[in-house]
Structure 1
Amino acid sequence: MEAPLAHVRPGGAAPAAPARPPGVPRDVSTLPKAHLHLHFTGSMRHSTLVEMAAGHGVQLPEALVEEWPPKLRATDERGWFRFQRLYDIARSVLRTPDDLRRLVRETAEDEAAEGSGWLEIQVDPSGYAARFGGLSPTVELVLDAVDAAAAATGVGIGVVIAANRTRHPLDARTLARLALQYRDRGVVGFGLSNDERRGRAYDFEGAFRIAKRGGLLSTPHGGELLGPGSVRECLETLDADRIGHGVRAVEDPALLRRIVERGVTLEVCPASNVGLGVAPSAGAVPVRELYEAGARIALGADDPLLFGSRLARQYDLVRAEHGFSDAELAELARQSIAGSAAPDGVRARLLSGVDAWLAA
């Protein structure tokens, strides 16, 4: 599939990796990589949330102030409701176009510091449309902010428009058509998020058919709160190119083989899996099992605002908890780049940087 146009700042060859003393682990924040699983409001810095809330007179709960990062568990309805409520409160501090521009700029700055040379940020414009003049004006505001942030930081950025499982499937079709209108402005994919238990992937087949026929990547969430059946629906019904999370596929060997055969990338988010109670520890997230089975993996931070860690931390976790060698971490970085919508020039530059990181 030809990659859609996206916001990229031209760059030359990857910078030379700094010398590393013998016996010192390579710094994963200098490993060039792509970040494919990051939600819009969830990418906000905690300090920015607190500052914006104070400026707009928004009262934050203790879970987002003194008790941050919040203690979460979303494997039951009550826990998911609390998680979603905290996310909605955080979104409510984005009151002005400048707030939104600041969020995107700071996110790009943080991505650059984490070694991410390509970012695909996921946004459901329905959650912001009432404040910013409608769906189209919201998407245009986001894309303008992305354009400016990419130019300022050198991080290439694509946008994934996401539908909400808790809304009517006809709303998703509207968003799919909207996403296609902006394919030449940097929209690269179409996603499906929110609680898997409240909307089957099957119901959204029409929206994803529209998006895929228009050349967008299919990137639905699945296999996080529900088991392999949810992953299978994303794979077979929504023709997924990537699956957000997808870790429960490990429970069905035949399904996992199908994912490997089709070259589908799983956006695995260790810290958020632990934060939401999907896994009791980072060591219990089946990263090693998926990797050894041959699945493509793109590590992601999901919602750093609520889980307290960004992209480089995910690489540190799989190194510490799953014994990934530096060569294997480099391969994870390559897989994230391969699963992205990054233009060929960006891919080549990042892959060259991965080789330089490993050779240091």
Structure 2
Amino acid sequence: MVGIVLASHGDLAAGVRQTGSMVFGDQENVAVVSLEPSMGPDDFRANLEKAVASLEDQEQVLFLVDLWGGTPFNQTSAFAKGHDTWAIVTGLNLPMLIEAYSARIDATKSAHDIAAHLVSEGRKGVRVLPEGLEPKVTASKAAAAHAGAIAPGTVLGNGKIDIAAVRIDTRLLHGQVATAWTKQIAPNRIIVVSDGVAHDELRKTMIEQAAPPGVPANVVPISKMVEVAKDPRFGATKAFLLFETPQDLLKCIEGGVDIKKANIGSMAHSVGKVVVTNAIAMGEDDVKTIERLRELGVEFEARKVPSDASENVDAMLKKAKADLAAQANQ
């Protein structure tokens, strides 16, 4: 696995790494080097050398540095001379780091491969609201973006939507989903399936704006998702489906959508529910719904981020039943 060194003035690199762990999970083979006000270039260089020495593989090293021409970059550039397999990318930001984490999962990729990929992907992480402030696209690109709707009956691909992954998450589309999970799954569309959110213009707009670069997000009611699953025009779509509750997932499957696997990311606590993990709370209806889904052949896992090991779903249901029974007897 390619080793990563984050280098910056002050605590920027350390902060980006900490935030990256919140989104993508804790990562091994990552080191941080910070240039503090009391340090000179030689001090920074010494810490840089220690950071590389701490990596499992010193042959493939990727340096993500804050500023081209600053001391961290200058010292890293000097240190990298003679190491032809190393690579340096400046402009360190959170989307860049998340993309690097995702890219290095492929063990065949070198530090150079990942660096070349990050140059474009890191720039995509810079976006603006209001969207009218975005640079104007060329006329040809604008025409392509506003191409007419596909005629009913048109068959794309194999005529059947590819549901690449399904997740139950009270928060729906947030940082972990937009970065870690989307990078892992590589969909070309995120679909939030919820009657409630589909009729809430504010939440709907916020979700659409939270979509990661290059992967549009749509919010649809359950009935619309049932129609989409039967529409051959979506045969070229690789979708990541997000549900707010297991009840919505059950309604979708009962409507005819073929779903055999689902990830439980988070289920928020509320009155009448019991906490079964640090991210999941269940009430009686949740337990019954998940058990019904399993009877229908749905296989569950429970993970916040791809790097986590799955929680034992049987143990979660058992704990939920015991705690709900104890709560009822109080």
Please, what TM-score do these two structures have when normalized by structure 1? 0.28
- Name the one with the larger helix percent: 1
Normalising by structure 2, report the TM-score: 0.30
Q: Which has the higher contact order (CA 8 A, sep 6+)?
A: 1
| Higher alpha-carbon Rg | 2
